[in-house]
Amino acid sequence: MAVGHVILPGSKRVAMPGARATGRANANATIEVSLKLRRIAPLPALTGRPAATISRRTLAAKYGAAPKDIAKVSAVFKRLGLTTVRADAGSRTVRLSGTVAAMEAAFVVRLFDYVHPDDSYRGRVGSIHVPVDVQNIVEGVFGLDNRRVVRRRRQPVRGTTRMHSAATVPASWYIPSELATHYNFPPGDGSGQAVGILEFGGGYFADDLRQFCTLAGVGVPKVSAISTDGTSTSAHDGAEGEVMLDIEVVAGVCPKATIVAYFADFTEQGWITAIDAAVHDAANDPGVVSASWGYAEDADIWTTAAMTQVNETLQEAAMIGVTVCLAAGDDGSSDAIADGHAHVDFPGSSPYVLSVGGTTIPVKNGKQPDIAWKEGDGLRADNGGSTGGGCSAIFPRPVWQNAVKIRSVNPGAIAGRVVPDVAANADWVASPYLLVVDGQAQANGGTSAATPLCASLIALMNAARGPGKRVGFLTPVLYQGKGGSTGTPAGALGCTDVTSGDNTTDAIGGYQAGKGYDAVSGWGTPNGKKLLAALPSV
């Protein structure tokens, strides 16, 4: 270790399984890293839905970074050859630019180029080190390693039929308004609401949205595509179907809402940049944020520091009254990790989000409840798929889940946060969504579709409740009554129980849907009007 540096806690990295180092990274290449700084004061404990929310201005003033800390960090790293290109006290972020050689010296690391069957990347192993002068100020350094930490959900289906505007949607497919009816959403068109969506690849294409809206019989909403870190907002990289699915589901339920898509790289640094941008966006002020991306929380993909920082920003969202909806995953209890054990997805496992699982609608326009979504063996790699769900190995069970007695199927596991919280249609074969992407209409789905559908419900509920009365941090309320811990939980009052199906995709075993709350469908599928009535007033 270089003199004058100390290890940065939570920064340790290992090489991705299957990756091979091919040589040192180009010393003359210029890269950027994001530093997260300490807060003026620690975030307060949040054991339930806040009795009152705070403004973004108050959040920044009380819990942001101190200007003197930003100045000191910038000065210290300037002496080490790095330039501050951006700093923000509210999000506690300093972004530095410099050559690979300067970064290696400043943080006492060695950066290598790695090849991997899925994604080649620039990476490191071991811990990051920071100068002693800022050891109590810098809490995280992100961007030295740019491996992928998010998975796409349902990949676009190629070779489908190009449909002109006068075509009709196949009878077995669902347009979002039909699902809004199926789940008894409150009336409305999203007027006055802003819905944020996080994207880590692909692009937004207005022509696809216009074609979708014509087929769905709705107006075209206003969409803003924002690059938070220079990432393209119009890439045809195979992930555009994910982006358009998110946007079109919201458009089909809330055509008068403003949809804000925040694009970032698929790295830890990108996740932090995107969620910061959405939560601290005072200009667009989204009342709900949806994300359909993630990765298993305990698969040596995330660093502890990154998970901590993302989780804290999600807590900030809860404090300012922004609901964050996260997909629970599309590969059942294994979350596509082939080690025989059960896993859950992060950030969907955060205690500060509404985790959304997936169901199947057995018969279109039928009256029977949904069943748990599981197609084939439940794994996308085998052309199947199934709802994620289970117990976190990272986040302890929050107090508002104390009554939940579900145990992890993994031996010796902690009593962790249980997901999902709710579920909605995700079956891309039996009850598929209409998706238009690259000029083609196709059947699609996954928890990638269920999540923006639930975000659309939140937007309608926010509109129904009126200004200053947003739903906000909904999740604890699902497990509690209107009086807090007393009374029938809002999840039981406002959701239709899903009692059939399982999500087992690993050797150790998965989870079974059953009466009441379970780790396959949560409280079940939302009954929008009943859920709205079950919420406490603000």
Q: Which residues are catalytic?
A: 242, 246, 448
H helices present in 379-510, as ranges: 447-465, 475-478, 490-494
Name the maximum alpha-carbon separation found in the chain: 70
Please state the φ and ψ torsions of residue 203, each to the nearest 5 degrees: -165, 165
What are the backbone dihedrals phi and psi of residue 395, each rounded to the nearest 5 degrees, phi first? -100, 120
Contact 77, 97 (CB under 8 A): no
Give the residues across from 514 on adjacent strands.
Answer: none
Please give the helix or strand (H or E) that residue 34 lies within, else none: strand 30-37
**Strand 222-227 with 258-263, pairing:** parallel
* CB-based contact 169:217 (threshold 8 Å): no
Residue 123, beta-bridge partner list: 112
Place of tokens 């491996």: 147
Which DSSP string do the residues of 238-305 spell out, in sequence order? S-HHHHHHHHHHHHHH-TTSEEEEEE--SSHHHHHHHHHHHHT-TTT--SEEEE--BEETTSS-S-HH
What tokens appear for 420 in the block?
């999902």
